[in-house]
Amino acid sequence: MKERLDVLDGLRGVAVLLVLWYHIWEISWFPAPWNWMEFIPETGFIGVQLFFFLSGFVISYPFLRGAFGGKASPTWWHFYYRRFIKIWPSYVLSIIVAFVIGYAATVRFAATPLQEVVTHLLFIHTWWPGTYGSINGVLWTLAVEVEFYAIFPFVWWLFKRWPWATATLMMAIALAWRTWLGNCCLMTTMPMYAENLPGYLDIFACGMLCAMLFVRYGSALKSAKAALPMTALALVGWVGLFVLLEGIFAYRMHPQWEVAGMLQTRELYGFAFAAIALGSLCAPRWIQVLLANPPLRFLAIISYNLYLYHQMIAREMVTWHFPPYSGDPHFDQPWQFSYTILAFVITIAQAALVTFFFERPLLRLPDPMSQKNAHSGT
């Protein structure tokens, strides 16, 4: 079984493309090419949940291969070092850029700059209204990710012994958390606190379950006999996801619809992601290439930096009147079109530059613990 699963790279590319389209649409209001597609950009925030699902899959995958696939499990040092070197430098750089260009000052709430920086560096900025959404609004997801990494050793200890019970517990906690928030504070603090780690434990759990099924039964599911059922499973997952998104799109006139519309159903999105991922991973290669293709793999490679900077750049473009406009540009269709195209091109180009000239060189640095062990002969 391959260590690198290019189908998941494709799904990561889809996730970042959805988020990019959503945030650019939020600014430009440029409609989708066809009316029936309008629900896609307006519900593109679902790409964040797909990121969380993929994180649950990929961080548990090497441990599952060690536990059930006869491979060596990574050490906890390696686990945390790889995540630190991948996340921290680019994250800090994006915060510096936000302050240098003045963008952070445009999204300041009740906190001081020092409070913003400290809470962001500790990945706890989502805990308080004054720092949630500050500096750069998209950074709330990094807090969720890093907090899950922090508790993952305990989650893995439980999951290795009782996978289904652990996943069920995670789903129950997430559902109870969101239900409580919906009942107590729908119009006040619910949108903020629902976007904290407890509210997404079910999505992470779905990713972990999907990885477990793939490790334990992937060889059988990739057989010729299973080709048609696995293709059908992927198709069912896509159809189910589109039905769910169209459902929440119809709910968009209600207050707090992005969060309130899935308070009781967020785990259904996790099930749809699992069907898409498992079905595609085990489908014939000609089906896999719909996701495992160069454009989506490229977007996956640059996805982290594309996510970190895309909203900042897109909003700064409007601030600097690039492309030029006068009055309210939301009703200027030529501007909407040119802005949308330029925002896609510029954000993708910038992400590629930061990825290949900053992030990737850091990722190629040798693990200091491995070097120490090599020098000591162990």
Segment 372-378 shows an average pLDDT of: 52
Residue 6's pLDDT band (boundaries 50, 70, 90)?
A: very high
Segment 295-320 shows an average pLDDT of: 98
Residue 251's pLDDT band (boundaries 50, 70, 90)?
A: confident
Render pLDDT for 72-115 as a digit per residue (tens, 0 to 9).
889 999 999 999 999 999 999 999 999 999 999 999 888 999 99
What pLDDT was estimated at residue 293?
Answer: 97
pLDDT at 374 over 80: no
What pLDDT was estimated at residue 376?
Answer: 53
**170 contacts: CB under 8 Å, gap ≥ 6:** 155, 201, 202, 204, 205
Residue with tokens 């069920």: 168
What pLDDT was estimated at residue 260?
Answer: 84
What pLDDT was estimated at residue 263?
Answer: 86
3-state secondary structure the chain: CCCCCHHHHHHHHHHHHHHHHHHHHHHHCCCCCCHHHCHHHHCCCHHHHHHHHHHHHHHHHHHHHHHHCCCCCCCHHHHHHHHHHHHHHHHHHHHHHHHHCCHHHHCCCCCCHHHHHHHHHCCCHHHCCCCCCCCCHHHHHHHHHHHHHHHHHHHHHHHHHCHHHHHHHHHHHHHHHHHHHHHHCCCCCHHHHCCCHHHHHHHHHHHHHHHHHHHHHHHHHCCHHHHHHHHHHHHHHHHHHHHHHHHHHCCCCCCCHHHHCCCCCHHHHHHHHHHHHHHHHHCCHHHHCCCCCHHHHHHHHCHHHHHHHHHHHHHHHHHCCCCCCCCCHHHCHHHHHHHHHHHHHHHHHHHHHHHHHHHHHHHCCCCHHHHHHHHHCC
**Percent of the chain surpassing pLDDT 70:** 97
Render pLDDT for 276-287 as a digit per residue (tens, 0 to 9).
999 999 999 999
Segment 204-228 shows an average pLDDT of: 96
pLDDT at 140 over 80: yes
User: Distance between CA 218 and CA 209 in Å, rounded?
Assistant: 13
pTM: 0.95
pLDDT at 154 over 90: yes
Segment 195-222 shows an average pLDDT of: 96
Domain boundaries, the chain: 6-364
**Percent of the chain surpassing pLDDT 90:** 85
Render pLDDT for 318-371 as a digit per residue (tens, 0 to 9).
999 999 999 999 999 999 999 999 999 999 999 999 999 999 999 999 888 765
What pLDDT was estimated at residue 241?
Answer: 98
What pLDDT was estimated at residue 378?
Answer: 45
pLDDT at 116 over 50: yes
Average model confidence (pLDDT) across the chain: 94
Residue 1's pLDDT band (boundaries 50, 70, 90)?
A: low
